[in-house]
């Protein structure tokens, strides 16, 4: 089916069955918030206006071509100007534009009204993951990193693609239904964009700046989006997943998260066995490092250097700890000190120093990471 035919089908669906249109792959996602519903309705209105103008303009044009062709003996009229026509083709478009601008302006103003939120969440874009901090409201103090959870076998074409291929994460954002959620967006490296179509939210995340948006989802469910700003090699691998749950379920999630954070803090205070560090480090590496440094540790030089045989990895542990904690300005190497716990960093460093051809036999303990942080 050609492009024109596909557009014709979409318009036919819109004119004959709004319910079918909502399910059509050619339209916006079904709205889950009031703002998204306004955007959806405005999109439909604009399309109808454009369709009406198209029919009128091309209808008059083709009528004129057919009925005033030379073979019928038509003779072109000669006139210099027509004041009434000129006024009409100036005033009518202005009225049409004003009619389109009114609902658009009203929606944009409402989109920007982030006052009095129930919960405030900061979303920080990294290459290529999202970090979330619950800054205000129930759940304040919760923070985590959200990575793509689609198995590498599916990404590499070695296994059948799952239902939520490339739009599933290991740590989704969880919010209660019916509450106003303010989202602050920023980035640690390059420009990203936090885009959740069903909520009508698309806000750029810019390094050094704080932007904001908001949503209130009344319907419980799982909603998915993506980074919508080209941000490098794995731009297509940093999805967004938001779970809207009941107030009771949200309160339970907050309690579970806070317990997990307390457990992680206690894990950083104990001595880990070497094998335990390597096993946990493999999981941390797979979730946070494999996209750049690759599963075989060979990296993708020159942007993403290899870890296998690396002088940094095989050198003094303090140097590698410094790099992992603070990153390397001017390179894609992010500062993981704000993203990972002491135990996670100790484990992943131990893993990289004792995997592939790297065999230092050295175990890095969480206490060493805490000391490097200056705790």
The CATH number of residue 52's host domain is: 1.10.287.90
> Residue 327: is its pLDDT beyond 50?
yes
Q: What is the mean pLDDT of the chain?
A: 89
Which of 112, 142, 177 terminates a domain? The answer is 112
Which of 112, 145, 177 terminates a domain? The answer is 112
Angle between helices 342-353 and 317-326 (to 10 degrees): 130
Structural domain that includes position 275: 269-374
In the chain, the percentage of residues whose pLDDT exceeds 90 is 71
Number of structural domains, the chain?
A: 3
pLDDT level of residue 4 (50, 70, 90 thresholds) = very low
Nearest to 237 by CA among 337, 170, 306: 170
The CATH number of residue 134's host domain is: 2.60.40.420
Backbone angles phi, psi at 129, to 5 degrees: -160, 170
216 and 339: one domain?
Answer: no
In a domain, 297, yes or no: yes
44 and 88: one domain?
Answer: yes
245 and 162: one domain?
Answer: yes
Which of 202, 234, 265 terminates a domain? The answer is 265
Per-residue pLDDT tens for 24-79?
Answer: 477 888 999 999 999 999 999 999 999 999 999 999 999 988 888 888 888 877 77
Nearest to 224 by CA among 41, 30, 39: 30
């Amino acid at each position: 089916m050609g492009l024109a035919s596909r557009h014709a089908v979409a318009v036919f669906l819109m004119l004959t069955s709004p319910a079918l249109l909502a399910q059509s792959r050619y339209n916006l996602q079904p709205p889950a918030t009031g703002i998204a519903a306004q955007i959806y309705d405005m999109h439909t209105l604009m399309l109808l206006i454009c369709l009406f103008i198209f029919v009128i303009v091309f209808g008059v044009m083709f009528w004129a071509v057919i009925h005033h062709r030379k073979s019928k003996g038509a003779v072109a009229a000669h006139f210099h100007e027509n004041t009434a026509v000129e006024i009409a083709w100036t005033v009518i478009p202005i009225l049409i534009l004003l009619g389109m601008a009114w609902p658009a302006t009203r929606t944009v103003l409402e989109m920007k009204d982030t006052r009095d939120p129930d919960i405030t969440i900061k979303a920080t874009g990294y290459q290529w993951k999202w970090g979330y901090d619950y800054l205000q409201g129930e759940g304040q103090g919760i923070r985590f990193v959200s990575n793509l959870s689609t198995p590498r076998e599916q990404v590499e074409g070695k296994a059948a693609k799952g239902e939520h291929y490339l739009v599933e994460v290991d740590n989704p954002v969880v919010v209660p239904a019916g509450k106003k959620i303010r989202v602050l967006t920023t980035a640690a490296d390059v420009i990203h964009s936090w885009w959740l179509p069903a909520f009508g939210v698309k806000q750029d995340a810019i390094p050094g700046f704080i932007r904001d948006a908001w949503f209130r989802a009344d319907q419980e469910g799982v909603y998915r989006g993506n980074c919508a700003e080209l941000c490098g090699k794995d731009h297509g691998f940093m999805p967004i997943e938001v779970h809207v749950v009941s107030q009771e379920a949200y309160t339970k999630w907050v309690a579970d998260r806070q317990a997990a954070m307390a457990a992680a803090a206690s894990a950083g205070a104990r001595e880990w066995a070497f094998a335990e560090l390597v096993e946990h480090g493999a999981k941390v590496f797979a979730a946070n490092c494999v996209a750049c440094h690759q599963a075989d540790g060979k990296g993708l030089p020159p942007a993403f250097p290899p870890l296998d045989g690396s002088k940094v990895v095989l050198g003094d542990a303090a140097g590698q700890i410094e790099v992992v904690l603070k990153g390397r300005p001017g390179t894609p190497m992010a500062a993981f000190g704000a993203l990972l716990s002491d135990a996670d960093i100790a484990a992943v460093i131990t893993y990289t120093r004792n995997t592939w051809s790297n065999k230092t036999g050295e175990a890095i303990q969480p206490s060493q990471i805490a000391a490097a942080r200056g705790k």
